Amino acid sequence: MRLARRISRLGTETAFEVLARARALEAQGREIIHLEIGEPDFDTPANITAAAIEALQAGYTHYTPSAGIPELRATVAEEVSRTRKIQVGPENVVIVPGGKPIIFYTILALVEAGDEVIYPNPGFPIYESMINMIQARPVPIPLLEENDFCFDLDALKRAINKRTTLIILNSPQNPTGGVLCRKDLEEIAELAERYDCYILSDEIYSRILYEGEFFSIASLPGMKERTIILDGFSKTYAMTGWRMGYGVMPENVAAAFARLATNSVSCTAAFTQRAGLAALRDPQDEVDRMVAEFRRRRDVMVAGLNSIPGVSCRTPAGAFYAFPNVKSFGRPAKEIADYLLQEAGVAVLAGTSFGSYGEGYLRLSYANSVENIEKAIERMRQGLSRMGHD
């Protein structure tokens, strides 16, 4: 069959491709340490799974309203009002199958072909993929190591103009672990107001933060009216396979998102939504425990990477990724990532999987045991020592 041209404009997430290659090596008997995929290795907390089982037995096996069950929308609204210190209601919330549909719907609902969309580079690859798919113009803003991987505000000032419709932010960030500080967010908000553009604030890692308190651009005066917050359950509650996330937005945009849901997925699974209620309402000790464990692993990972000759790594402030600099090896990041998989049995991603400014970096997920992280560091040390660096 001949595919429509828009399909050729869709990008992908390399993590899934590297995972498939790593699995193929495992099928040949190789032992691979997986640092490529961005998902917590913990089980979903037992109270959440129990709530889903109970919901299934109680008959939550039918359609729900497209925007989500009212009780969950209200609970998300309370949670977001409390954590972002803003006032939002259930009418501002749409429940969707994962965080990703919020990216999809935002771009479909707010951006016309030919509009300009600003987004981080390196950044989550789905942003650029969707911008290209609808034939808008992608305008990447570099995140530089020397700037602690924050948005380059000078570059933003040069890039923004009256054709800019949307600015995509992600903090804590995938792949760098960088966090946008309040001062930078204030400047970004001021520019968004001046040029009358909207913000998609991808806050999927908002709870996985190691220093300070999370701050959302939507908390700044006048910004909740022009911001779509993306958050969800995948990372916070180790629920990647359940497929549930949410967006918080002005009411008319929520109505458009609900219509997009009606046209695509109808709704998020009913029993999954009931489990989401338990996740938000029950005690949060499990989340605290997981975040504390991620911090311990981060410290092992970063110290280990910095002990490898030729590698240097900043300490990420959030999410569960390390983004070490491997420029001293003088080879493309993709070549180094391929070499580490083949020769050292460690699956990592090239920084370029997240855009051209990722060249010279690797992304390693530390959502893995300390034992495996230590083993991976030793394998990398040996593998990279054979490569030669400056």
Ligand X SMILES: Cc1ncc(COP(=O)(O)O)c(C=O)c1O
Please give the structure tokens belonging to residue 274.
Answer: 């009931």
Least distance to ligand X, CB of residue 156, Å: 19
Three-state DSSP at 167 gives strand
Please name the residues in contact with 262: beta carbons below 8 A apart, sequence gap of 6 or more.
Answer: 66
Tell which positions 195-214 bind ligand X, by CB under 6 A.
202, 204
In angstroms, give the least distance from the CB of 390 to ligand X: 32
User: Measured from the CB atom, is 178 or 245 closer to ligand X?
Assistant: 245
368 counts as binding ligand X under rule CB under 6 A: no
Neighbours of 299 (CB within 10 A): 14
Counting residues that bind ligand X (by CB under 6 A) gives 13
Contact segment (CB under 6 A) with ligand X among 156-164, 232-240, 292-300, 304-312 equals 232-240
Can you give the length of the chain in residues? 390
Residues linked to residue 312 through DSSP beta bridges, in sequence order: 325
Residue 37 beta carbon to ligand X: minimum distance, rounded to whole angstroms:
9
d(CA 65, CA 75): 16
| Beta carbon nearer to ligand X, 101 or 310 | 101
* Residues with Cβ within 8 Å of residue 371, at least 6 apart in sequence: none
CB atoms within 10 A of CB 4: 8
Candidates 129, 174, 268, 325: give the one binding ligand X (CB under 6 A). 174
Closest by CA position to 144, among listed 154, 158, 136: 154
Among 131, 98, 117, 121, CA closest to 176:
121
Closest approach of ligand X to the CB of residue 162, in Å = 28
- The yes or no reply on residue 232 touching ligand X (CB under 6 A) is yes
Identify which of residues 38 and 358 has a Cβ nearer to ligand X in the complex. Answer: 38
Q: Is 245 in the site for ligand X (CB under 6 A)?
A: yes
- For the segment 90-149, give every residue that binds ligand X (CB under 6 A): 98-100, 124
According to CB under 6 A, which one of 32, 38, 268, 322 is a site residue for ligand X? 38
Q: Which is nearer to ligand X, 165 or 234 (CB)?
A: 234
DSSP assignment string, 206-248: TT-BSSS----GGGSTTTGGGEEEEEESTTTTT-TTT--EEEE
The correct pick among 170, 216, 365, 368 for binding ligand X (CB under 6 A) is 170
- Pseudo-torsion of CA 241, 22, 119, 190, nearest 10°? 60
Interacting residues of 146 by C-beta distance below 8 A, sequence separation 6+: none
Is residue 122 left, alpha or beta, with left meaning phi > 0 and alpha meaning psi from -120 to 50?
beta
**Judged by CB under 6 A, does residue 234 bind ligand X?**
yes
CB of 73 to ligand X, least distance (A): 17
* Nearest-approach distance from CB 126 to ligand X, in angstroms: 7
Q: Which amino acid is at 293?
A: E
Whichever of 98 and 247 has its CB closer to ligand X, that residue is 98
Task: Write down the least CB distance from residue 104 to ligand X, Å.
Answer: 10
Residues 274-303 that bind ligand X (CB under 6 A): none
The CB-of-110 to ligand X minimum distance in angstroms stands at 17
37 vs 373, which CB is nearer to ligand X?
37
- Residue 367 touching ligand X (CB under 6 A): no
Our CA angle for 256, 188, 254, nearest 5°, is: 10
Footprint of ligand X on this chain (CB under 6 A)?
38, 98-100, 124, 170, 174, 202, 204, 232, 234, 240, 245
